[in-house]
Structure 1
Amino acid sequence: MTKLSVNINKVATLRNARGANTPNVVKVALDCEQFGAEGITVHPRPDERHIKRADVYELRPLLKTEFNIEGYPDKDFIDLVLKAKPNQVTLVPDSPTQITSNAGWDTKTNLTFLTEILDEFKNAGIRTSVFVDANVEMVEYAAKAGADRVELYTEPYATLYPKNPEAAIAPFVEAAKAVRKLGMGLNAGHDLSLENLRYLFEQISWLDEVSIGHALISDALYLGLEKTIQEYKNCLRK
């Protein structure tokens, strides 16, 4: 079964716009679980422009599903993850000034850097995932670094999908096959939506998890959160 992890960053962005606690990020996360999500993802950034460190600590003891923390592994991020001990940490190569993730790791160039950090998290009992482009060599070096999983960066797929689904999915299938051959787990995320998720799942049915935030929260404005989560889960059923 491919799990749906809901990224709640956009909920925190809305809350922070007014400086109070509406919407309540923790309640939304718990509601997502109640409505069928199998995981919650957060991406805290240094400026706390959406998810705050305090949110991470408040969420951790309350969540009953998988908790995934993603981010760039600077000293503060590593400290946060080691203290919170989520089920999974996903390493992304974002700079502090980026609005959102826009590329995967060059795992070959950063092999030593990633290996040291992955070892630290794995020694703490936290499953590790590395954010990579749909590139077989980058997958191979993620395996060499010791990653338990990779998360395929799916924005290029989502961009090309409306014009040419077959061409859009081709490099992702190739990368996903390499992941499976190397014995790692497989996640995917970024710009996945109700429009393109089912086709991705049909072509790569061995996905362990998809992490979806922006599109899902946007759809919930029209459909409601419960119905939206069910619609996304329907895309992940054979």
Structure 2
Amino acid sequence: MASISALWQVNDDPKPWIVVAAAVLALGLVAYPPAWRLSRNIVTIAHEGGHALVALLFGRKLDGIRLHSDTSGVTVSRGRPDGAGMVFTALAGYTAPPLLGLLFAWLIGMGRTTLMLWAALALLAGILIMIRNMFGVVSVVTTGAVIFAVSWFASDQIQAAFAYFGASFLLLAGARPVIELQRMRSRRQAPTSDADQLAKLTGVPGLMWVLVFGVVALASLYVGAALLIPERWAFDLLPI
């Protein structure tokens, strides 16, 4: 069983096969359609959480978050209908999952596996306060319960495996919703998407915002992968 003091301990690097297995499992969840339909709910939580956090940072009033069983979601905030606050709030959705994965990879790379798990719990607790429908409550509570159980009861190696899996999943899953978004836009099925809202707010075409989402996802994956590989493996993916 873990303790609060464990948050500040530096964890040892996991065994190499754990890192590989975590990445392979995460890739499987993203690439295999039936698994993706279920695991995409995690991405939606991060997506809507990104909207909510940035809205609050820019002084907007947050009315609530709703998560739906079809893996869609909506975050409602009030405030000025244009300007930087609205632009960054709209921009935060698709960029939040890969950037969160990058943050988790950074913590893991510093050996702060337990801290990473509890940071995820803190973020979920903040999101739970603003959830306004039952499916959303169940999704967030279930996710939080799994993370808490692992962080409190599991051994260091299991915690490491779970943390690597979580970070790898967010990094790998960052690009697929962007591809799905553009596919829906090309079929005129998403007229009010984040990209199209940004186009109306800025005058920059929606396709350019989709490209921004994609660049953030791919850059986060590249840097995050380098951070997740233990130094002793003698790989250096970041050119200096």
TM-score of the aligned structures, taking structure 2 as reference length: 0.27
Structure with bigger gyration radius: 2
Could you say which structure has the higher helix fraction? 2
More strand by share: 1
Higher relative contact order (CA 8 A, sep 6+): 2
